[in-house]
Structure 1
Amino acid sequence: MAAACVRTISKTGRLVYDKATCHPTKIPAFVIPLRNAERTYGTSRLDFGARLSSYALLRGGRVLGCAFIFGGGFGFGLYQTVKLTLQRHLAEKAKVLSFPPLLQDGLTQAPDLGTDLKLKLYQYKTCPFCSKVRVFLDYHGIPYETVEVNPVMRQEIKWSGYRKVPILMVNGTVQLNDSSVIISALMTYLMSKEKMIPQILACYPEMKAKNEHGKEVIEFGNKYWVMVNDHEYPEKDSRKEEIKWRKWVDDWLVHLISPNVYRTPGEALASFDYIVREGKFGRFEGFFAKYVGAAAMWIISKRLRNRHNLQEDVRQDLYKAVNDWMAAVGKKKFMGGDSPNLADLAVFGVLRVMEGLQAFNDMMENTKVKNWYRRMENVVHNHNHSE
């Protein structure tokens, strides 16, 4: 996947830099302008291209090989997803969409979330799954600290056996993994006011399986359920609809981001420029991640298009998905009515990572999402008390 690809690209980039012939001080200056970019890199187009080709031959095409082996997009900027086939298999095997058992009563009174609990979010800023969690926390006015993870070395999460982001640490002792589990568990905590986080997490069992490549992957049972009784839920009649669209976000919407933001070489370069600026990269890690990563992900985006059976013009799939969402919202302000529900927050969190890119501008101009999106911006901003 793209995160693994960036790690390989950046690590091998260091090896290239260590060679005298590839040191930036030896390269003639040539500034490549970028649309909407705040950073450019000085290099000779011909010289850099020749050296990149030589490097690819010397390393056996490891950069692009990595891209094709790991395949898919980490969404917009370094996200990892479980494939649809695995999700369907696990859903059939575990029957996670059946109503889950509720937590037992009589637990110790929980502290008020956001005052007694200290939350630390380990993230990639441009990851749509991390964005989903931030939107939830911001909307509910829950203070939290963010730790930007270097996608190459990942030293910030070396203590964790779970090697993906987001990871949310509660009081430095309880670890929550997977964006949908994090959101469901915290929403359960907010609504129940009497259940402790460790007991809540027991309702989201970790399940391990192997994908078609033989690689072990992790999923979580019941992850779209908020563990309270129906009579406690504010939207009794629309609870299943909320779950349906939250799942749709993870199973479909996120898979449209990479093919659209890496659609052309120019869009891929602008996307990686944004990723490098907003992410935590070393100087030379960022240099190789930006240029080699953009080239690799442009090629990978075509494979993603075929994998997910997208149209030749992937914008049309993005437009249709967004308009399908707006049709589900209907004439209401939000799917949740006068206030956003968890599906509103998830859709907004994923779409928000494209802001500033051509795909986002095209989406706003060619779909019915603009008014809903602006309302979401306002309510999330008004509730935002994050640190």
Structure 2
Amino acid sequence: MADIKLYGYSTSPYVRKVGCCLYYKELPFEFVPVNPIENSQIHFTGQTQVPVLEIDGEWRLDSTPLALWLDEMFPERPLFGKTREEREEILLIDQWVSQSLIVSGFKTVYETPMNSRLRAMAWRMANIVSSQTPLSDEVRNAWPKLLQTAPFIKRMVLCSDTTESAKTMRDRVGFELFQHFGGGPHFGGRSEPSLVDFAIFPQIVFAYMVGLEDELAIAQVPDLQDWLRRMSHCLPKNPLLVEDFMIVNSLE
């Protein structure tokens, strides 16, 4: 059996994406939480980027290439379909997830004036990180500002359309999400889950499951409610890589 380690922080949508791919393929793995301030756990890479996936001593970076690597190494339960055409379609929607769905969340954090709600959200995120790689009180207290000024978030936001407000982007992304669903039962109108489903699912349910939001709005849409149920059946009860005691709301 392969020795698999996934390095990252559970607050990263890209780390959770790879984690869900591993769960779907039913590959036992060790999740190694990375301290986002020191990054000492991934010094061996010479970089600070997560996720890092290590298989039998070989390591690679970047969530989508990592998923391709997983399909090469472990072809059962494929993430990219069975044909070149299916793979290209999946990669296209996956690109939308990275450039639009995830960035819309980053943009909301980046553009929102500091207020009590943003501070509460940021401190909750700091608690999630600290539960796995302890942070000092000073760092935890500064987390709202650190989150808004994080170079990675700033870079992603500035690479998007800066003339589009966060609210306008969220509305557009919501509309495009339904378009990409394609009638289901999985995204792209596919009969089986693909990389796209494992990129979208943890991003959509994270805030609700860890208590940042009181309701899961997407669950009000019947087709997507059914999709959530199907996805829950092929993933563990806690698919987010956070500590179990950090889960506030279950999808059951």
Shorter-normalised TM range? 0.7 to 0.9
Give unpaired runs (5+ residues) of structure 1: 1-115, 193-224, 227-232
Q: Is 1:255 matched with 2:139?
A: no
Q: 1:267 to 1:375 in 2, by over 3 A?
A: farther
Secondary structure, in 3 states, of the residue corresponding to 1:169? strand
1:152-197 Cα offsets, whole Å, 9 max, x none, are 11111122223211111112x20121111111111122228xxxxx
Q: Tell me the TM-score normalized by structure 1.
A: 0.51
> Which aligned pairs between 1:311-322 and structure 2 lie closer than 5 A?
311-312=164-165, 314-322=166-174
1:244-278 Cα deviation digits (max 9, x unpaired): 10111222222112233563523322332222222
Q: Which residue pairs with 2:140 in the alignment?
A: 290
Distance 1:154 1:119, change over 3 A: same
Q: 1:86 maps to which residue? A: none
- State the match for 2:121 in structure 1: 271
Correspondence list, 1:1-387, <5 A: 116-171=1-56, 173-191=57-75, 233-234=81-82, 237-261=85-109, 263=112, 265-280=115-130, 281-284=133-136, 287-298=137-148, 308=160, 309=162, 311-312=164-165, 314-335=166-187, 337-355=190-208, 356-358=211-213, 361=216, 369-381=224-236
Q: Which residue of 2 aligns with 1:230?
A: none
Superimposed CA distance per residue, residues 111-154 of structure 1 (whole angstroms, 9 cap, x where no aligned partner): xxxxx201011110110010000111111111100111111111
Paired amino acid for 2:116: G
Query: 2-side partners of 1:182 and 1:122: how far apart?
Result: 12
User: Structure 1's 123 and 365: CA in aligned 2 closer, same or farther, altered over 3 A?
Assistant: same
Identity %: 21
**Cα shift readout 1:82-125 (whole Å, capped 9, x = no counterpart):** xxxxxxxxxxxxxxxxxxxxxxxxxxxxxxxxxx2010111101
Determine the C-alpha separation between the residues in 2 that align with 1:273 and 1:117.
37
Taking a change above 3 Å as real, the CA distance of residues 156 and 299 of structure 1, as seen in their structure-2 partners, is: closer
Equivalent position amino acid for 1:180 in 2: T
Number of residue pairs matched by the alignment:
228
Deviation at 1:295, TM superposition (A): 3.5
- Measured after TM superposition, the shift of residue 292 of structure 1 is 2.3
Structure showing greater Rg: 1
Q: Secondary structure at the match of 1:120?
A: strand
Which has the larger helix fraction? 2
| Shift in Å, 1:359 | 9.3
Deviation at 1:283, TM superposition (A): 4.8
How far 1:296 sits from its partner (Å)?
A: 5.0
Could you tell me which amino acid in structure 2 is paired with residue 175 of structure 1?
A: W
Deviations 1:290-331 (A, max 9, x none): 33231354578899767633644x244224313312222222
Q: What is the alpha-carbon distance in structure 2 between the residues aligned to residue 298 and residue 155 of structure 1?
A: 23
Contact 1:326 / 1:368 at 8 angstroms: preserved in 2?
Answer: no
Maintained 8 Å contact 2:205/2:216: no
Q: Which whole-Å CA distance do the structure 1 matches of 2:147 and 2:27 have between them? A: 35
Structure 2, unmatched stretches of 5+, are 242-252
Contact 2:15 2:63 in 1 (8 A): yes
TM-score, length-normalised on structure 2? 0.74
Q: SS of the residue aligned with 1:125?
A: coil
Q: 1:270 to 1:304 in 2, by over 3 A?
A: farther
Any conservation in 2 of the 1:323–1:367 contact (CA below 8 Å)?
no
SS in 2 for 1:347: helix
